[in-house]
Structure 1
Protein backbone atom coordinates (compact mmCIF):
# COMPACT_ATOMS: atom_id res chain seq x y z
CA UNK A 1 0.00 0.00 0.00
CA UNK A 2 1.48 3.40 -0.93
CA UNK A 3 1.88 6.31 1.53
CA UNK A 4 -1.05 8.29 0.06
CA UNK A 5 -3.48 5.39 0.48
CA UNK A 6 -2.18 4.67 3.98
CA UNK A 7 -2.51 8.35 4.86
CA UNK A 8 -6.12 8.36 3.65
CA UNK A 9 -6.90 5.35 5.84
CA UNK A 10 -5.31 6.98 8.88
CA UNK A 11 -7.25 10.20 8.27
CA UNK A 12 -10.51 8.24 7.96
CA UNK A 13 -9.81 6.43 11.23
CA UNK A 14 -8.80 9.69 12.91
CA UNK A 15 -12.15 11.26 12.04
CA UNK A 16 -13.97 8.42 13.84
CA UNK A 17 -12.34 9.09 17.23
CA UNK A 18 -14.77 10.41 19.82
CA UNK A 19 -12.64 13.30 21.05
CA UNK A 20 -11.95 14.44 17.49
CA UNK A 21 -15.66 14.49 16.70
CA UNK A 22 -16.54 16.14 20.02
CA UNK A 23 -13.94 18.89 19.58
CA UNK A 24 -14.60 19.37 15.88
CA UNK A 25 -10.96 18.85 14.89
CA UNK A 26 -10.37 18.25 11.20
CA UNK A 27 -7.41 16.58 9.53
CA UNK A 28 -5.74 18.87 7.00
CA UNK A 29 -2.51 17.10 6.04
CA UNK A 30 -0.94 13.80 7.04
CA UNK A 31 2.24 12.32 5.64
CA UNK A 32 5.58 10.94 6.77
CA UNK A 33 6.96 13.32 9.39
CA UNK A 34 4.09 15.81 9.26
CA UNK A 35 0.60 16.21 10.65
CA UNK A 36 -1.60 19.31 10.37
CA UNK A 37 -5.00 19.55 12.05
CA UNK A 38 -7.47 22.42 12.30
CA UNK A 39 -10.30 23.67 14.41
CA UNK A 40 -12.93 26.24 13.47
CA UNK A 41 -14.00 27.78 16.79
CA UNK A 42 -17.56 27.24 17.93
CA UNK A 43 -19.16 29.10 20.84
CA UNK A 44 -18.46 26.23 23.23
CA UNK A 45 -14.72 26.44 22.42
CA UNK A 46 -14.40 30.03 23.64
CA UNK A 47 -13.52 31.40 27.03
CA UNK A 48 -14.93 34.48 28.74
CA UNK A 49 -12.72 36.74 26.56
CA UNK A 50 -13.91 35.26 23.26
CA UNK A 51 -10.61 33.42 22.78
CA UNK A 52 -10.13 29.74 22.06
CA UNK A 53 -10.06 28.11 25.51
CA UNK A 54 -6.62 26.99 26.68
CA UNK A 55 -7.82 23.39 27.06
CA UNK A 56 -9.03 23.36 23.45
CA UNK A 57 -5.65 24.65 22.24
CA UNK A 58 -3.91 21.95 24.30
CA UNK A 59 -6.14 19.23 22.85
CA UNK A 60 -5.53 20.50 19.32
CA UNK A 61 -1.76 20.49 19.91
CA UNK A 62 -1.78 16.98 21.39
CA UNK A 63 -3.78 15.72 18.43
CA UNK A 64 -1.25 17.18 15.99
CA UNK A 65 1.73 15.82 17.92
CA UNK A 66 0.47 12.29 18.28
CA UNK A 67 -0.45 12.21 14.59
CA UNK A 68 3.07 13.29 13.67
CA UNK A 69 4.52 10.66 16.00
CA UNK A 70 2.80 7.87 14.05
CA UNK A 71 3.12 9.47 10.62
CA UNK A 72 6.15 7.46 9.56
CA UNK A 73 5.19 4.16 11.18
CA UNK A 74 1.58 3.60 10.15
CA UNK A 75 2.55 0.25 8.61
CA UNK A 76 4.03 -0.82 11.98
CA UNK A 77 1.08 0.17 14.17
CA UNK A 78 0.09 -3.45 14.72
CA UNK A 79 3.43 -4.04 16.45
CA UNK A 80 3.45 -0.97 18.68
CA UNK A 81 1.71 0.71 21.59
CA UNK A 82 1.75 4.52 21.46
CA UNK A 83 0.66 6.99 24.11
CA UNK A 84 1.42 10.58 25.11
CA UNK A 85 3.52 10.68 28.29
CA UNK A 86 3.58 14.42 28.81
CA UNK A 87 2.89 17.71 27.15
CA UNK A 88 3.82 21.33 27.58
CA UNK A 89 2.27 24.36 25.91
CA UNK A 90 3.18 28.03 25.86
CA UNK A 91 0.42 30.46 24.97
CA UNK A 92 2.12 33.19 22.93
CA UNK A 93 -0.79 35.40 21.88
CA UNK A 94 -4.54 35.60 22.20
CA UNK A 95 -6.28 32.98 20.09
CA UNK A 96 -9.23 35.21 19.25
CA UNK A 97 -12.18 33.12 18.16
CA UNK A 98 -12.84 35.40 15.22
CA UNK A 99 -9.28 34.76 13.95
CA UNK A 100 -10.02 31.07 13.29
CA UNK A 101 -9.76 28.54 11.96
CA UNK A 102 -6.60 27.57 13.83
CA UNK A 103 -4.00 25.20 12.39
CA UNK A 104 -1.76 23.00 14.54
CA UNK A 105 1.32 21.81 12.69
CA UNK A 106 3.65 19.13 13.98
CA UNK A 107 6.74 17.85 12.22
CA UNK A 108 9.52 15.36 12.90
CA UNK A 109 12.57 14.90 10.70
CA UNK A 110 13.17 12.07 8.25
CA UNK A 111 16.19 11.08 10.35
CA UNK A 112 13.99 10.83 13.44
CA UNK A 113 11.45 8.67 11.57
CA UNK A 114 14.25 6.40 10.37
CA UNK A 115 15.53 6.01 13.94
CA UNK A 116 12.02 5.29 15.25
CA UNK A 117 11.51 2.60 12.61
CA UNK A 118 14.86 1.00 13.52
CA UNK A 119 13.99 1.01 17.24
CA UNK A 120 10.60 -0.58 16.54
CA UNK A 121 12.30 -3.28 14.45
CA UNK A 122 14.72 -3.89 17.36
CA UNK A 123 11.73 -4.01 19.76
CA UNK A 124 13.15 -1.14 21.83
CA UNK A 125 10.92 1.36 23.62
CA UNK A 126 11.27 4.96 22.43
CA UNK A 127 10.42 8.36 23.85
CA UNK A 128 9.95 10.82 21.01
CA UNK A 129 9.78 14.60 21.57
CA UNK A 130 7.27 16.09 19.13
CA UNK A 131 6.96 19.88 18.63
CA UNK A 132 3.77 21.69 17.61
CA UNK A 133 3.00 25.21 16.43
CA UNK A 134 -0.54 26.63 16.42
CA UNK A 135 -1.39 29.58 14.19
CA UNK A 136 -4.54 31.55 13.46
CA UNK A 137 -5.95 32.13 9.97
CA UNK A 138 -3.52 35.02 9.37
CA UNK A 139 -0.52 32.82 10.15
CA UNK A 140 0.10 34.44 13.54
CA UNK A 141 1.51 31.84 15.95
CA UNK A 142 -0.63 31.77 19.09
CA UNK A 143 0.91 28.78 20.86
CA UNK A 144 3.92 26.48 20.81
CA UNK A 145 3.85 23.04 22.38
CA UNK A 146 5.90 19.88 22.77
CA UNK A 147 4.76 16.40 23.68
CA UNK A 148 6.54 13.16 24.46
CA UNK A 149 5.18 10.15 22.60
CA UNK A 150 6.06 6.81 24.14
CA UNK A 151 6.34 4.12 21.49
CA UNK A 152 6.99 0.59 22.65
CA UNK A 153 6.52 -2.93 21.37
CA UNK A 154 3.10 -4.42 22.07
CA UNK A 155 3.17 -6.94 24.87
CA UNK A 156 2.42 -10.53 24.01
Structure 2
Protein backbone atom coordinates (compact mmCIF):
# COMPACT_ATOMS: atom_id res chain seq x y z
CA UNK A 1 0.00 0.00 0.00
CA UNK A 2 3.02 2.26 -0.16
CA UNK A 3 1.70 3.47 -3.52
CA UNK A 4 -1.34 4.98 -1.76
CA UNK A 5 0.18 5.71 1.67
CA UNK A 6 0.45 9.45 1.00
CA UNK A 7 -3.33 9.71 1.32
CA UNK A 8 -4.88 10.63 4.65
CA UNK A 9 -6.70 9.02 6.38
CA UNK A 10 -4.96 5.65 6.04
CA UNK A 11 -6.10 3.45 3.15
CA UNK A 12 -7.99 1.02 5.42
CA UNK A 13 -10.32 3.86 6.48
CA UNK A 14 -11.09 4.63 2.83
CA UNK A 15 -11.76 0.94 2.11
CA UNK A 16 -13.91 0.47 5.24
CA UNK A 17 -15.96 3.53 4.27
CA UNK A 18 -16.47 2.15 0.75
CA UNK A 19 -17.55 -1.29 2.01
CA UNK A 20 -19.98 0.14 4.56
CA UNK A 21 -21.58 2.53 2.04
CA UNK A 22 -25.01 1.99 0.54
CA UNK A 23 -23.54 1.76 -2.99
CA UNK A 24 -21.43 -1.31 -2.16
CA UNK A 25 -22.88 -4.53 -3.70
CA UNK A 26 -23.61 -7.10 -0.97
CA UNK A 27 -23.47 -10.24 -3.14
CA UNK A 28 -19.74 -10.18 -3.98
CA UNK A 29 -17.23 -12.78 -2.83
CA UNK A 30 -13.51 -13.42 -3.14
CA UNK A 31 -11.44 -11.32 -5.50
CA UNK A 32 -14.49 -9.46 -6.86
CA UNK A 33 -15.33 -8.24 -3.36
CA UNK A 34 -11.81 -6.91 -2.84
CA UNK A 35 -11.59 -5.41 -6.33
CA UNK A 36 -14.87 -3.54 -5.86
CA UNK A 37 -13.94 -2.31 -2.37
CA UNK A 38 -10.60 -0.98 -3.55
CA UNK A 39 -12.11 0.54 -6.68
CA UNK A 40 -14.86 2.38 -4.75
CA UNK A 41 -12.18 3.65 -2.34
CA UNK A 42 -10.21 5.05 -5.28
CA UNK A 43 -7.46 2.43 -5.35
CA UNK A 44 -6.42 0.12 -8.18
CA UNK A 45 -6.04 -3.31 -6.55
CA UNK A 46 -4.08 -4.57 -9.57
CA UNK A 47 -1.40 -1.94 -8.89
CA UNK A 48 -1.38 -2.95 -5.22
CA UNK A 49 -0.96 -6.64 -6.13
CA UNK A 50 1.78 -5.75 -8.61
CA UNK A 51 3.63 -3.75 -5.91
CA UNK A 52 3.25 -6.71 -3.56
CA UNK A 53 4.76 -9.10 -6.12
CA UNK A 54 7.67 -6.73 -6.71
CA UNK A 55 8.25 -6.43 -2.95
CA UNK A 56 8.31 -10.23 -2.67
CA UNK A 57 10.94 -10.41 -5.43
CA UNK A 58 13.09 -7.85 -3.61
CA UNK A 59 12.76 -9.79 -0.35
CA UNK A 60 13.64 -13.02 -2.13
CA UNK A 61 16.74 -11.43 -3.64
CA UNK A 62 17.80 -10.10 -0.25
CA UNK A 63 16.87 -13.00 2.08
CA UNK A 64 16.11 -16.00 -0.14
CA UNK A 65 19.45 -17.77 0.18
CA UNK A 66 19.64 -17.38 3.95
CA UNK A 67 16.04 -18.62 4.33
CA UNK A 68 16.75 -21.60 2.07
CA UNK A 69 19.82 -22.41 4.20
CA UNK A 70 17.76 -22.68 7.39
CA UNK A 71 17.15 -26.20 8.65
CA UNK A 72 13.47 -27.05 8.22
CA UNK A 73 11.71 -28.12 11.41
CA UNK A 74 9.28 -31.01 11.38
CA UNK A 75 6.85 -31.93 14.11
CA UNK A 76 6.11 -35.37 15.49
CA UNK A 77 2.97 -35.70 17.60
CA UNK A 78 3.76 -37.37 20.94
CA UNK A 79 1.76 -38.22 24.05
CA UNK A 80 2.78 -38.59 27.63
CA UNK A 81 -0.06 -39.63 29.87
CA UNK A 82 -2.89 -37.15 29.32
CA UNK A 83 -0.91 -34.51 27.51
CA UNK A 84 0.03 -34.15 23.86
CA UNK A 85 2.97 -32.32 22.40
CA UNK A 86 5.04 -31.74 19.32
CA UNK A 87 8.58 -33.15 19.23
CA UNK A 88 10.65 -31.07 16.83
CA UNK A 89 13.29 -32.51 14.55
CA UNK A 90 15.16 -30.91 11.67
CA UNK A 91 15.70 -32.08 8.11
CA UNK A 92 19.46 -31.45 8.49
CA UNK A 93 21.80 -30.59 11.33
CA UNK A 94 20.74 -27.33 12.93
CA UNK A 95 24.14 -26.32 14.30
CA UNK A 96 23.50 -24.07 17.27
CA UNK A 97 20.07 -24.92 18.63
CA UNK A 98 17.66 -22.42 17.08
CA UNK A 99 14.91 -20.79 19.12
CA UNK A 100 11.70 -22.64 18.38
CA UNK A 101 8.09 -21.54 18.44
CA UNK A 102 5.18 -23.95 18.18
CA UNK A 103 1.74 -22.50 17.60
CA UNK A 104 -1.32 -24.51 18.52
CA UNK A 105 -4.94 -23.99 17.59
CA UNK A 106 -7.92 -26.08 18.67
CA UNK A 107 -9.36 -26.70 15.18
CA UNK A 108 -8.51 -26.31 11.48
CA UNK A 109 -10.72 -23.22 11.29
CA UNK A 110 -9.84 -21.60 14.62
CA UNK A 111 -9.84 -17.82 14.77
CA UNK A 112 -6.55 -15.97 15.29
CA UNK A 113 -7.41 -15.14 18.92
CA UNK A 114 -7.52 -18.90 19.69
CA UNK A 115 -3.86 -19.46 18.76
CA UNK A 116 -1.45 -20.24 21.57
CA UNK A 117 2.30 -19.87 21.06
CA UNK A 118 4.65 -22.11 23.05
CA UNK A 119 8.26 -20.95 23.09
CA UNK A 120 9.62 -23.33 25.72
CA UNK A 121 10.18 -27.03 25.47
CA UNK A 122 11.40 -30.12 27.29
CA UNK A 123 14.16 -32.15 25.70
CA UNK A 124 13.60 -35.89 25.39
CA UNK A 125 15.68 -38.29 23.34
CA UNK A 126 17.60 -35.32 21.98
CA UNK A 127 14.47 -33.59 20.65
CA UNK A 128 12.70 -30.55 22.01
CA UNK A 129 9.02 -31.13 22.80
CA UNK A 130 6.50 -28.29 23.03
CA UNK A 131 3.48 -29.43 25.04
CA UNK A 132 0.05 -28.33 23.86
CA UNK A 133 -1.75 -26.22 26.45
CA UNK A 134 -5.02 -27.57 27.85
CA UNK A 135 -7.92 -27.10 25.47
CA UNK A 136 -5.78 -26.97 22.33
CA UNK A 137 -6.59 -30.55 21.31
CA UNK A 138 -10.14 -30.70 20.00
CA UNK A 139 -12.08 -33.17 17.88
CA UNK A 140 -9.46 -35.83 18.61
CA UNK A 141 -6.59 -34.01 16.91
CA UNK A 142 -3.82 -31.50 17.51
CA UNK A 143 -3.31 -28.63 15.07
CA UNK A 144 0.15 -27.08 15.18
CA UNK A 145 2.70 -25.02 13.30
CA UNK A 146 6.44 -25.17 14.00
CA UNK A 147 8.55 -22.04 13.60
CA UNK A 148 12.22 -21.09 13.89
CA UNK A 149 13.44 -17.70 15.11
CA UNK A 150 15.77 -16.26 12.47
CA UNK A 151 16.86 -13.06 14.19
CA UNK A 152 14.56 -10.87 12.12
CA UNK A 153 11.39 -12.97 12.02
CA UNK A 154 9.93 -16.33 12.97
CA UNK A 155 9.68 -18.54 9.90
CA UNK A 156 6.73 -20.92 10.30
CA UNK A 157 6.12 -24.16 8.47
CA UNK A 158 2.59 -24.83 7.17
CA UNK A 159 -0.13 -25.86 9.61
CA UNK A 160 -0.61 -29.56 10.33
CA UNK A 161 -3.46 -31.29 12.12
CA UNK A 162 -2.79 -34.82 13.33
CA UNK A 163 -5.13 -37.29 15.03
CA UNK A 164 -4.28 -38.01 18.67
CA UNK A 165 -4.72 -41.74 18.05
CA UNK A 166 -1.57 -41.67 15.85
CA UNK A 167 0.66 -40.00 18.46
CA UNK A 168 3.93 -41.66 19.39
CA UNK A 169 4.32 -42.55 23.05
What TM-score does the superposition give when structure 1 sets the normalisation length? 0.28
Name the one with the larger helix percent: 1
Name the one with the larger strand percent: 1
Quick one: higher RCO (CA 8 Å, sep 6+), 1 or 2? Answer: 1
